[in-house]
Structure 1
Amino acid sequence: MTPRSIIMITIPLFIIVGILSPAPAAGYRMSKTCCTRYSKKPIPSENIKGYREQVTLEHCRINAIIFYTTNNHEICTSPNDDWVKEALSSLSSKLKMMSQNTDGKKM
């Protein structure tokens, strides 16, 4: 094989591999940002679609609960605020109800 024929085979091979390789999901971020302060304003529970916990054992300076809202915002909150504890309890109850509703049902 000549060098030119090797190139003619190799380039399409790389293109095919690139097309078939899985790509990261849309919105995926390599690193998470840290909360540096808390929002004091409570979020209505109907506007919360999820959350994650930030702990000081990681690379961030403060412990926080980061709520994801229906408007695709991330709101940093204090895990010690009563309204945050209530929101987490409500989310936990909803998740428990959802898991009980799917028990025994085939998908």
Structure 2
Amino acid sequence: MALRLLLPLLLLAATFLIAQTQGIGSSASDCCLKNSQAAIPRGLVKSYILQGPESGCLLRSVVFITKKNKKICASPSDPAVQKLMQNLDKRVKNDKKDGKRGQSPRSGGRPRRHKRQRV
């Protein structure tokens, strides 16, 4: 009789332990574990994200996203990193201004062809 009561409890406990080990229900985030000391080329980067305790990460970092969608972690207190962040902010601001005017640059470098008017 005691075995009938114990078996469902053991199954429930085993299910709970398996779910914990597989990470079900946990909110794991992709955090930087260390910051790069190398200089980051300006033309390589397209955007950045700030990381810290508010995002669930222990290390404060600036995560730069490259044009090939790679991530580079850098120290937010580094003056070169701060300058790169300012340059990216200016680029985004200028892109928004150009978008509001309706002037989007054409790809391919060729001027737009105009249709001939018939007389």
Which TM-score applies when normalising by structure 2? Answer: 0.58
Unmatched segments (≥5 aa) in structure 1: 1-29
Distance in 1 between residues matched to 2:79 and 2:64, nearest whole Å: 15
Identity of aligned residues (%): 26
Q: How much has 1:31 moved relative to structure 2?
A: 4.9
Distance in 2 between residues matched to 1:80 and 1:72, nearest whole Å: 23
Hey, which bits of structure 1, 4+ residues long, moved more than 2 A?
Answer: 104-107
Unmatched segments (≥5 aa) in structure 2: 1-26, 105-119
| Structure having the higher Rg | 2
- Equivalent residues, number: 78
> Within the alignment, does 1:39 sit opposite 2:36 as a pair?
yes
* 1:96 matched residue in structure 2: 93
Distance in 2 between residues matched to 1:60 and 1:100, nearest whole Å: 34
Output one character per residue of 1:5-26: Cα deviation in whole Å (capped at 9) or x when no partner: xxxxxxxxxxxxxxxxxxxxxx
Output one character per residue of 1:52-105: Cα deviation in whole Å (capped at 9) or x when no partner: 110112321111110011233111111111111011100011111111112242
Which TM-score applies when normalising by structure 1? Answer: 0.64
3-state SS of paired residue (2:86) = helix
> Within the alignment, does 1:54 sit opposite 2:61 as a pair?
no
What is the root-mean-square deviation in Å for CA atoms of aligned residues? 2.1
3-state SS of paired residue (1:68) = strand
Structure 2 letter corresponding to 1:34: C
> Within the alignment, does 1:86 sit opposite 2:83 as a pair?
yes
Distance in 1 between residues matched to 2:48 and 2:78, nearest whole Å: 15
